[in-house]
Amino acid sequence: MTLLDITNALNLKVSCGEEYLDREIEAGYASDLLSDVMNNAKKGDIWVTRQVHPNIVAVGVLRMLSGVIIISNLEPEEETVKKAITKKLPIMTSELPAFELVGRLYEFGIHGLHE
């Protein structure tokens, strides 16, 4: 499944990185603790968070994530979007809370466990 597939299926708004929505999603990771994501998210994961500050871009690039979904109608800060554009990290937003969004991702076959 690609970022474009879930963007369309879940009616996500693309804040930046529309040209990279063909990226495959390997699995999902949900956390608001940057240190947790840095230690546990894997290459190709989609990251679900409520964080909106520029540090999410650094973490996303470090872990080589496919993209970031910001939940609950929150919007990334302007500096976050600028940084994500330069680092080629797609950021999408959702009106859904984390629990519901992760459940829907799971229904689409995006699981959190790596084998």
Tell me the per-residue pLDDT of 48-96, one tens digit each, with 9 for 90 and over. Answer: 999 999 999 999 999 999 999 999 999 999 999 999 999 999 999 999 9
**CB-CB contact of 90 with 66 (8 Å):** yes
pLDDT at 22 over 90: yes
Q: Are 59 and 38 in contact (CB under 8 A)?
A: yes
Quick one: tokens of 5? 């597939």
Mean pLDDT, rounded, for 93-103: 98
Beta bridge partners of 110: none
What pLDDT is attached to residue 12? 99
**Answer CATH for 3-107 from 3.40.1390.20, 3.10.105.10, 3.40.640.10, 3.30.70.1450:** 3.40.1390.20
- pTM for the whole thing? 0.96
**What three-state secondary structure class fits 55?**
helix
For residue 115, pLDDT beyond 60:
no
Domain boundaries, the chain: 3-107
pLDDT score for 114: 61
How big is the chain, counted in residues? 115
pLDDT at 20 exceeding the cut of 80: yes
